[in-house]
Amino acid sequence: MSEQVIGRFVKVLRGAEVSVSPAETLDAVQVTALLGYQDREALKQGLSLVLAKSEHDKLAFDECFDDFFRFDGVPPVAPDTGSEQPPSLMERLRDMLPGQQGGAGAGASSALGQQLLADDSAQLSRQMAEAARQVGLDNIRVITQKGLYGRRIMQALGGEALDQEIIALDSSERRQDQRLGAELRSARDQLREAVREYVADQFLLQAREQGRQLREQMLREANLRTLAEFRDVRKQVEKMARRLARKHGRRQRRARRGQLDGRRTTVMALKHGGVPASLVWRRRRIQKPKLMVICDVSSSVSAAARFLLLFLYAVNDVVPSVRSFAFASRFGEVTSLFNTMSSDQAINEVMDRYAGSGTDYGAMLRDFLGQCESDLDQRTTVIILGDARNNDLPAEQQLLGHIGRRCRQVFWLNPEARSRWGSGDSVMSLYQPYCRDALPCSNLAGLERFVDRLLRDLTRG
Amino acid sequence: MKTRILSVAEVRDSFARHGYVCNDRIAMAVYLAAQLRKPVLVEGPPGVGKTELAKASAAFLEAPLIRLQCYEGLDEARALYEWKYGKQLLYTQLLREQLGGRLEGAQGLAESMARLGDLGDAFYSETFLEPRPLLQALRADESPVLLIDEVDKADQEFEAFLLELLSDYQISIPELGTVKARHEPLVFLTSNNSRELSDALKRRCLHLYIPYPDAALEQQIIAARVPEASQALRKQLVDFVQRLRTLDLKKQPAISESIDWARALLLLHVESLDPVLVDSTLNLLLKHEEDVRQVRDDLPSLLK
């Protein structure tokens, strides 16, 4: 019993983006065995210790716990549940059951009928949960299945026998039987209602996880231009960035330990009469990478710029030094905006100030060189994001070549598909030879791939 | 060491007797840790009593406390064990003749090597082993409380190295084999969240988050730690500190700072807070000049 309940609870937690491992699930079973279900608050605290392992997870956990253990036939012991909380299933059942009326319960012959009349709501709600397990309510996926699962649960509870009994009682001659039949009928209808609500609640819980996975997949693959309109995109980007930062942060540390420094070890050993008592490691000096990002923020590609900047400022731990530039009709450095505001605000501000049309990539390269040529060195990586549509102005690709020689590498990100590069007024094919790599980035998955590669490259030292 | 803990309430009451006032959530963590034999990872802002929790637990369990302070670059040699290189060298020098004697009459290099090989283990034995906190905890004569403080300050490698200790209470030393705990220690790890800890580590621990206490709990804590302060002053003081925490400060005042402040006010024979006094003692609560300036400007409204 306990294992199954916890198993389903863990499923709900995972749906709320709390990651729970099988080992932790086992811990939770142990905790439940130790604490029991009697003291709800204690159980909540105990499970929270083993299942939710960050501040954020704890919040999600509290919510899920309150949701989940409302259904499961656990007596709500805590008296201070607050008035706005919906009544537990048991309370609902208790309200709707007719109650024991002078031994009327003895009249019903079907098992379910007897229970309904005997007002055993605790028993009933336990059975309902059990029936739900039997019919596999966990597998409910689409909203139209609600009726089906509701019927199956009624069946598992013994609804058929009850139906037959009601029919038999209705057709009976005795007034007492008829009254009993009417009573049973109304109790059955109320039970049906309770089952329906139970199924609906479970559906919501289950759908949450399904929906999240689908949504995540969709967000990763949707075109960046349409993406800006979704509300939790930012959260998704931050999540992806966090993952990358964690991955590469670790690598940065590993690279720090060098090889044994034979020469210095021997020198140190002289102190101990030639015995190499202490070893000296050759420390590899990690050169702090510098990043310069130039973003085209004209209307056609501004969405991509928004996400690239979000991404790069979110992996700040790994690449602390990012300078950003924006251009559309004019060019300018926007780094200071990011230092004083949250990246979201800063990006909005950039869009307000620089958005426009009529991009001139040649002029941009010239402006950039004018401002930053002396800052370019062998630790600097330059990233240019734009569609390279130059409005038939001179491309001045030799300037990009000059930048490429002055810095460590140049990457070009183009929000257009590769097949469209060089078509119309796009001068991408002229710029491409001067870049270490040019990549299309039309969705979050593409951006993530690029940032991943960039960080790997930067942290290898 | 106390072997049986009967209930959460027992933990809480005993902690209170030792001057560590806590809520059920914290007591539950200690109770479960002792029951399930699992380490506890304690997170929370600085100064909410994470380290204090380990000390209180040691006092409650009547167990010795072994503490390992983590820092960047902490390695196995500092945390687990180190060979006493100096002693080893000294011994080789002193035993030079003995060694010479052993080698006497050996035919060729191969035989000499073989003879030396026979005694190789002698130099990597208990005699030359310098146990550091982790090994001390494993070999303690009674079950100790092991506090691994600020584990987030240590490197990722060290975190990985801890995994074996945390899940099985044992550690592998290449030269000696696996050392298993004589008595399983109760382990507390604390973290200030300066970086995210790995999932593998979190998975092996109970996770306790200690936030700043609410007003009622903070009053209790101050009553326990600074009993001389009058109740009126205590209430005023806690209300003020709680209000400070709602501001956007660089570093919010923690419990330890409220306690310090309460002690200072007591020394100054203060009966109730007034703006001048608060102004002059503000730097006990706030540790950044900017914060002090910001609060000083709003002082009249904050003290209301």
d(CA A80, CA B52): 31
d(CA A91, CA A89): 5
* A228 band by pLDDT with thresholds 50, 70 and 90: low
Please give the share of chain B, as a percent, with pLDDT higher than 70: 98
* A280 band by pLDDT with thresholds 50, 70 and 90: confident
pLDDT for the residue numbered B77: 78
Q: What are the chain B neighbours of A24 within 8 Å (beta carbons)? A: 203
Residue with the bigger pLDDT between A461 and A155: it is A155
CB contact under 8 A, A31 and B32: yes
Q: Residue A168: name the closest of A87, A109, A218 by CA.
A: A109
A79 pLDDT higher than 60: no
- Mutation for testing the A interface, residue in B35, B207, B210, B212 having most A CBs under 10 Å: B207
Q: Range with the lowest mean pLDDT among A46-50, A74-78, B290-294? A: A74-78
pLDDT for the residue numbered A80: 36
Which positions of chain B have pLDDT values less than 70? 1-3, 119-120, 304
pLDDT in tens, A194-216: 888 888 777 777 766 666 677 77
pLDDT for the residue numbered A84: 38
Supply A34's token pair: 């130790």
Q: What's the whole-number mean pLDDT along residues A2-19? A: 83
CB contact under 8 A, B41 and A272: no
pLDDT for the residue numbered A257: 54
On average, the pLDDT of chain A sits at 79
Q: In A135-227, where does DSSP find H-type helix?
A: 146-157, 159-170, 175-221, 224-227
Longest Cα separation, chain A: 115
Residue numbers of B between 99 and 118 with CB closer than 8 Å to A: none
Residue numbers of B between 260 and 299 with CB closer than 8 Å to A: none
pLDDT in tens, A330-350: 888 988 888 888 878 888 888
pLDDT for the residue numbered A284: 60
A247 pLDDT higher than 80: no
The CA-based dihedral angle spanning residues B100, B103, B104, B105, taken in that order and rounded to the nearest 10 degrees: -170
Q: Does B29 touch chain A (CB under 8 A)?
A: yes
Q: Does B50 touch chain A (CB under 8 A)?
A: no
- Mutation for testing the A interface, residue in B209, B210, B212, B248 having most A CBs under 10 Å: B209
pLDDT for the residue numbered A258: 57
Residue with the bigger pLDDT between A78 and A402: it is A402
d(CA A195, CA A372): 69
Q: What's the whole-number mean pLDDT along residues A375-404? A: 89
d(CA B138, CA A235): 43
Nearest by CB: B28 against A49, A53, A242? A49
Nearest by CB: B207 against A34, A49, A250? A49
Q: What are the chain B neighbours of A32 within 8 Å (beta carbons)? A: none
pLDDT for the residue numbered B69: 92
CB contact under 8 A, B43 and A249: no
* A87 band by pLDDT with thresholds 50, 70 and 90: very low
Nearest by CB: A34 against B35, B92, B196? B35
A261 pLDDT higher than 80: no
Nearest by CB: A50 against B24, B86, B206? B206
pLDDT in tens, A89-126: 555 555 555 444 434 444 667 777 777 777 667 777 77
CA-CA distances (angstroms) from residue A137 to A11, A130, A198? 13, 10, 10
* A148 band by pLDDT with thresholds 50, 70 and 90: confident
pLDDT for the residue numbered A99: 45
A82 pLDDT higher than 70: no
Q: Which of A414-453 are b and which e, b meaning 16 or more Cβ less than 10 Å from the residue's Cβ?
A: bbbeeeebeeeebbbebbbebbeebebbbbbebbbebbbe
ipTM value of the model? 0.82
Supply A139's token pair: 């597998």
Nearest by CB: B8 against A19, A30, A42? A42
CB contact under 8 A, A49 and B155: no
**What type of residue sits at position A230?**
F
* A86 band by pLDDT with thresholds 50, 70 and 90: very low
Residue B48 DSSP symbol: S
pLDDT for the residue numbered A359: 84
List, in order, residues 6 or more apart from A146 with CB less than 8 Å away: A140, A196, A199, A200, A203
Highest mean pLDDT among A53-57, A229-233, B9-13: B9-13
pLDDT for the residue numbered A316: 74
- How far does A32 lie from chain B, in Å, by closest CA? 11
pLDDT for the residue numbered B1: 59
Q: What are the chain B neighbours of A277 within 8 Å (beta carbons)? A: 85-86, 89
A88 pLDDT higher than 60: no
d(CA A405, CA A409): 8
Pairing between β-strand B145-149 and β-strand B65-69 as defined by DSSP bridges: parallel
Q: In B37-106, where does DSSP find H-type helix?
A: 50-61, 76-79, 85-94, 96-103
Q: What are the chain A neighbours of B157 within 8 Å (beta carbons)? A: 253-254
Q: Does A247 touch chain B (CB under 8 A)?
A: no
pLDDT for the residue numbered A100: 41
| Helix axes of A175-221 and A89-96: crossing angle, nearest 10 degrees | 150
pLDDT in tens, A419-448: 888 888 888 988 999 999 898 888 888 888
Closest residue in B to A24 (Cα–Cα)? B203
Q: Does A56 touch chain B (CB under 8 A)?
A: no
Q: Range with the lowest mean pLDDT among A15-29, A84-98, A219-233? A: A84-98
pLDDT for the residue numbered A95: 54
pLDDT for the residue numbered B177: 83
CB contact under 8 A, A53 and B155: no
3-state percent breakdown (helix, strand, coil) of chain B, nearest 5 = 55, 10, 30
A461 pLDDT higher than 60: no
Residue numbers of A between 250 and 289 with CB closer than 8 Å to B: 250, 253-254, 272-273, 275, 277-278
CB contact under 8 A, A250 and B38: no
Q: Does A27 touch chain B (CB under 8 A)?
A: yes
pLDDT for the residue numbered B146: 94
* A76 band by pLDDT with thresholds 50, 70 and 90: very low
Residue B193 DSSP symbol: -
Pairing between β-strand A321-327 and β-strand A331-333 as defined by DSSP bridges: antiparallel
pLDDT for the residue numbered B185: 92
A224 pLDDT higher than 60: yes
Residue with the bigger pLDDT between B222 and A253: it is B222
pLDDT for the residue numbered B79: 87
